[in-house]
Amino acid sequence: MTDPELDQALTTALAEPPQRVRAVVLPDGRRFWLKRVERLSGRLRLQKGDPARAFAAEREGLRAVAAAGVPVAEVTAEGPDWVLMPDAGPTLPTVVRQSDVDEAGRLRAFAAAGRALGRLHWAGMAHGRPAVRDVCWDGREARFIDLERFRRARRAGFWQAADVVMFAQTAFTAWPGDPRWLDAALAAYAVSAPEGAMASVRRLAGWLAPVGWLATGLSALRPGSRELQAVGLTLGRLRR
């Protein structure tokens, strides 16, 4: 690197006890994120899978998505088991909470997220877990982060439809009574995605109907679970 301040801050951060994600803030206020291979115990490793494989998938995803011209977190520097990325702006849930962003600004952020997801799918890829917290907005671009489940995928195929289901599920979990943000994203996705993509989404939502019935039953046992309540909202919305 040719930035002495960043070089020093990175060296210091790499010398600290490893953690999955660490903020690296420079004296001039610039913020970066150092992401490393997660260290998991045996039980968590069984639950979450091989962290080295997830890190390799993310590294491949960052390169492939950037090469396709789709907005994604940039890579400033990298090593065998780490990548350093500049801050890409607040995540979508933070945008919704920001008092200095009006409704029009929030709608632009979600529309940009929908367009970006459509462009990603046109490029023959799937994010794997595009939760609303995994999309950042810098005022111009909606950028994807956390591509640990990235994969190559057939256009308008199962994994791309699953991306849309995941995005909608996390949106309804966060804002069960306010569909404005999700509607903006889905409208932009529909005109940006490959031909047949929305039909694939509707088809997958139909196949998942038994999951919705199960979630409804479990909600009676766990009435406070926003995730369970969001399942029915998601499948109902995506079947339209």
Residue 101 shares a structural domain with residue 65: no
Residue 112 shares a structural domain with residue 225: yes
Give the Cα separation of 149 and 56 in Å (integer): 10
Specify the pLDDT at position 43: 58
Specify the pLDDT at position 23: 96
Residue 2 belongs to some domain of the structure: no
Residue 173 shares a structural domain with residue 79: no
Specify the pLDDT at position 49: 72
Sign of CA dihedral 193, 139, 171, 104: negative
Specify the pLDDT at position 143: 97
Q: Provide the CATH number for the domain around residue 139.
A: 1.10.510.10
Domain termination site, one of 28, 51, 86: 86
Task: Tell me which amino acid residue 236 is.
Answer: G
Residue 170 shares a structural domain with residue 188: yes
Specify the pLDDT at position 46: 54
Mind listing the pLDDT tens digit of every residue in the chain (240 residues)?
578 999 999 999 999 988 899 999 999 999 999 999 987 665 555 556 788 899 999 999 999 999 999 999 999 999 999 999 999 999 999 999 999 999 999 999 999 999 999 999 999 999 999 999 999 999 999 999 999 999 999 999 999 999 999 999 999 999 999 999 999 999 999 999 999 999 999 999 999 999 999 999 999 889 889 999 999 999 999 998
Domain encompassing residue 231: 92-238
Residue 222 shares a structural domain with residue 118: yes
Q: Which residues pair with residue 79 across a beta bridge? A: 82
Residue 9 belongs to some domain of the structure: no
Residue 77 shares a structural domain with residue 134: no
Specify the pLDDT at position 209: 96
Specify the pLDDT at position 50: 83
* Contact criterion met (CB below 8 Å) for 74 and 66: yes
Specify the pLDDT at position 44: 56
Specify the pLDDT at position 42: 59
Residue 227 belongs to some domain of the structure: yes
Residue 102 shares a structural domain with residue 219: yes
Q: How many domains does the chain have?
A: 2
Specify the pLDDT at position 2: 75
Domain termination site, one of 70, 86, 102: 86
* Contact criterion met (CB below 8 Å) for 154 and 118: no
Residue 97 shares a structural domain with residue 78: no
Specify the pLDDT at position 39: 77
Residue 102 belongs to some domain of the structure: yes
Coil, strand or helix at 125: strand
Domain termination site, one of 65, 86, 107: 86
Residue 6 belongs to some domain of the structure: no
Specify the pLDDT at position 116: 98
Give the Cα separation of 46 and 216 in Å (integer): 28
pTM of the full predicted structure? 0.93
Specify the pLDDT at position 38: 80
Residue 8 belongs to some domain of the structure: no
Residue 96 shares a structural domain with residue 157: yes
Residue 120 belongs to some domain of the structure: yes
Residue 165 shares a structural domain with residue 219: yes
Residue 4 belongs to some domain of the structure: no
Q: Residue 192: which of 111, 118, 112 has the closest Cα?
A: 118
Specify the pLDDT at position 47: 59
